[in-house]
A and B are shown apart, each in its own frame.
Chain A
Amino acid sequence: MTNCHSIRPLLPARADELTLFEVRTRAEHVADCARCATEAAAYSRLGQALAVMASLEVDPADGTLERILVAIGRRRAGVTNPRVLAAAGSAGALVATVVVARAVRSRRRSRHRPSPWPRRLRLPNLPVPTPALARAK
């Protein structure tokens, strides 16, 4: 049997913190040693009580909740406030509509108004320039 001195560091540990060999060694020792069994039971009970602490809550000072709500309200107002987003969206849509309408209108006008320029430029038949070297020949 392993002695108490070598088992002592294993007693506070949870099973998932030990190797399989350590778990087995501890279990075998505790089964035969009343003193270490009492220690192990105390640590086990301590562990259970600590786990229960997760469900216990402390009340923060008065005004903490309100302060948080104000802070996140400010943060959201700058980024994701639905009203701000809706207003910005409406304004954007209005600007886009005006721009498109003006473009369509100017295009229609340009179709109906005769252009002062001919549709295709016709160049007169000019003699093709001959390179100086060819002329010399």
Chain B
Amino acid sequence: MEVDRELVEAAQAGDRWALEELVRRTHRSVYTCALRLVGNPDDAADVTQDVYLRVVRKLGGFRHEASFSTWLNRVTTNVAMSTLKRRTRRFAVEGAAVPPDTRDPAPEPAERAEAIALARRLERLVAGLPEGQRQVLVLRDIYGQSTEEVANAMGLTPGAVKVRLFRARERLKAELEATEGGQVVTLAGRRRATGRHS
């Protein structure tokens, strides 16, 4: 999700069309991040709406020090974490929503296409991780936040984040190998040989 600086500046200046265009271009990405964090489509839709209400309030203070997408990701993380803290009910691991099929980005080279195919399968496995492990993995490994940023967002120590990350990655790799019946490293070659498509 890359957004033109001009569009952001126009929205900051009060251009209503620019703000709506900003929402149109980014809402899928915000919704996807929210869904991965909260694990439930209804809550993810609420989080997405709250994110943009906060964006309207805070956009004037955005100084372009980071990219808009990075800033938007942080807002999404904060809103999602606040929602989770407020939420009284807890979703059991078995009850975690299976995300619908992801949309492909623009056509990519073959190597990236392999990674995309693997990523689509991973989406379901990530959704099935325990909530605490899923959140640190999503923020750190998918959205590239630093260990310290993840710790701040989740109210954990960096050490606790590393422990959860270790468990999440180990579990994810094991489940991936179990579902595919082999090593992660051999997935690409095996799929090519058998002609399977996800």
Contact = CB atoms under 8 A, between A and B. Distances in A.
B45 interface: yes
By DSSP majority rule, is chain A's interface helix, strand, loop, or mixed?
A: helix
A60 B23 CA distance: 13
A64 B32 CA distance: 13
Contacts of A45: 118, 184-185, 187
B41 A61 contact: yes
B123 A12 contact: no
Interface size class of chain B, counting residues whose CB lies under 8 Å from the partner chain: 35 or more
Interface stretch (A26-34, A75-83, A102-110, A111-119): A75-83
A80 B59 CA distance: 12
Interface size class of chain A, counting residues whose CB lies under 8 Å from the partner chain: 35 or more
A56 B20 contact: no
A96 interface: no
Given A43-B173, A51-B142, A58-B100, A68 B185 contact: no
B52 A53 contact: no
A13 B166 contact: yes
By DSSP majority rule, is chain B's interface helix, strand, loop, or mixed?
A: helix
B103 interface: yes
B16 interface: yes
A16 B104 CA distance: 29
A58 B183 contact: no
A71 interface: yes
Most chain B CB atoms below 10 A, which of A12, A71, A75:
A12
Contact of B112 (A38, A52, A65): A52
B183 to A, nearest CB: 6
B162 interface: yes
A125 B197 CA distance: 116
A38 B186 CA distance: 10
A68 B24 CA distance: 10
8 contacts: A42-B173, A49-B119, A51-B144, A53-B126, A59-B100, A64-B48, A69-B23, A72-B20
